[in-house]
Structure 1
């Protein structure tokens, strides 16, 4: 019974780690938001996080990392992404399970080397599967998500940035996700709201479609950057601002090239920010 409870908590933390929160309640609220928007994507999220966590256990990865959910967030995103892009035919469910296992394995390659992989395992696995499924493509939730968006206002523009991190387009899901982050880290949530609005403003300057901006397509990577570097020191704010602006510029460019953006702008901007931070630290210590 204790082991079963521990496994459930590990899975919930894995879902919470999508926005870098080691909090089971945050993960539970994320699942609630996903299920609110789509029962299919919610089920895919559950199947994927279980598959990823089980893979980590079977391969005997460090128990502390499994317990913290580090092998759950990329698999969860793979599951949601596949049922977002494709209708849930049997082949897609097989891909959800295998893709989740592959994402967990890739995550371990970063962890064992002490490298910040963030959501890159999810990105790599999903890009490969999107390419492989290109010729058997059946539109999924992505085909109709824009039709359900309400009229734009500043509040929902801010929260939609949170929702799109996990492919959810409703106002309710965005609010649930932002509250879920807030209960774990109020500072991170507030930074995320500011980043979402900044992402919308920058993309507006590039004359991007208003519907896409309001949906949060230019904000969700910014939200992830803000959460990653959020802190209570002035230098944290500088890192947030730099990474957010860079991620939005990458987001705009990739969407203009009709690429599957996913969370790559967040990962690239975070790597560049950390690289520059390391370089400046080395210069100071010389």
Structure 2
């Protein structure tokens, strides 16, 4: 929307760059959108909001001090991984005063990793996206076992051998055919939380605010996000996944990012790319389930790696396709 871009450009440069960094979590290089995202995080929890703020500021300052591309910094590209690092570490590790030091160090590393991956991937026209956040957080989560000052939190999965679920908690037919008050509420909660969980927020209102923020930047982007969360709810239901995980939006946040990336950001928007995004979104659900079982023995969450992996494969494949190579 034009008004949001005018507000964006009217802001002081430091504020604009920081807020764009928050907005880039959903591919939105717009300070107004970033402000809405940041407000939403504080609505979800003050600690998460503070952690995201510390992360985005630290990672952006690091990029300035290390002399990385001014254009990339101004677009907020060195801020969004730091934005994710903060809330992630506070979710999965024990909340202690020392953890703030951990967040600062991880945010610094996320910018360094991003710069390295940009150098590696740019010749192939492939974005690093959230991979620096994933690699950094995995390393810092595993490292806590060697430090007395840090410890894992109750949300971090315990290392264990993956086991098949006994049965689906609610038959797919109950989700799809009966529009009772209960199932309607389950759909509403699952769809909105699917968007909110991109930034680790287990909150319906946060998901709604995220969608509003995306729509301010692009209606197509918001539509792709909605399609992604719908795929992330419907496909696990049909496959008989754990109902609690579906309702919490934990199968949906990766398809949200995948469908936005393929159907809006990195390929020329068209009906064909929308169809390709749908396929990618569906396969992201399978990829997430597979990676969750693969990582279970070492007790690590998938984070956004299913999205990164599927996006990379589809963008590499699109580069040699007669339909999507441009």
Q: 1:205: which partner in 2?
A: 238
Show structure 1 runs of 5+ residues with no match: 144-149
Kindly indicate which of the two structures has a greater share of residues assigned to helix.
Answer: 1
Q: Map 1:181-220; keep pairs closer than 5 Å.
A: 181-220=214-253
Query: How far 1:56 sits from its partner (Å)?
Result: 0.5
Q: 1:77: which partner in 2?
A: 84
Q: 1:120: which partner in 2?
A: 131
Taking a change above 3 Å as real, the CA distance of residues 133 and 239 of structure 1, as seen in their structure-2 partners, is: same
Pick from 62, 68, 71 the counterpart of residue 61 of structure 1: 68
Pick from 96, 100, 103 the counterpart of residue 96 of structure 1: 103
Query: How far 1:141 sits from its partner (Å)?
Result: 6.9
Query: How far 1:230 sits from its partner (Å)?
Result: 2.3
| Distance (whole Å) between structure 2 residues aligned to residue 131 and residue 140 of structure 1 | 14
1:254 matched to 2:261: no
Q: 2:143: which partner in 1?
A: 132
Taking a change above 3 Å as real, the CA distance of residues 92 and 190 of structure 1, as seen in their structure-2 partners, is: same
Q: 1:164: which partner in 2?
A: 197
| Distance (whole Å) between structure 2 residues aligned to residue 284 and residue 50 of structure 1 | 36
Q: Is the 8 A contact 2:17 2:76 kept in 1?
A: yes
| Distance (whole Å) between structure 1 residues aligned to residue 31 and residue 188 of structure 2 | 26
Pick from 226, 237, 241 the counterpart of residue 278 of structure 2: 241
Number of equivalenced pairs: 277
Taking a change above 3 Å as real, the CA distance of residues 284 and 246 of structure 1, as seen in their structure-2 partners, is: closer
Q: Is the 8 A contact 2:63 2:111 kept in 1?
A: yes
Taking a change above 3 Å as real, the CA distance of residues 158 and 282 of structure 1, as seen in their structure-2 partners, is: closer
Q: 2:314: which partner in 1?
A: 273
The TM-score with structure 2 as length reference comes to 0.79
Larger Rg belongs to: 2
Q: Is the 8 A contact 1:75 1:100 kept in 2?
A: yes
| Distance (whole Å) between structure 2 residues aligned to residue 50 and residue 141 of structure 1 | 26
| Distance (whole Å) between structure 1 residues aligned to residue 305 and residue 134 of structure 2 | 7
Taking a change above 3 Å as real, the CA distance of residues 243 and 284 of structure 1, as seen in their structure-2 partners, is: closer
Q: 1:147: which partner in 2?
A: none
| Distance (whole Å) between structure 2 residues aligned to residue 138 and residue 237 of structure 1 | 40
The TM-score with structure 1 as length reference comes to 0.90
| Distance (whole Å) between structure 2 residues aligned to residue 277 and residue 247 of structure 1 | 17
| Distance (whole Å) between structure 2 residues aligned to residue 255 and residue 42 of structure 1 | 27
Taking a change above 3 Å as real, the CA distance of residues 179 and 140 of structure 1, as seen in their structure-2 partners, is: farther
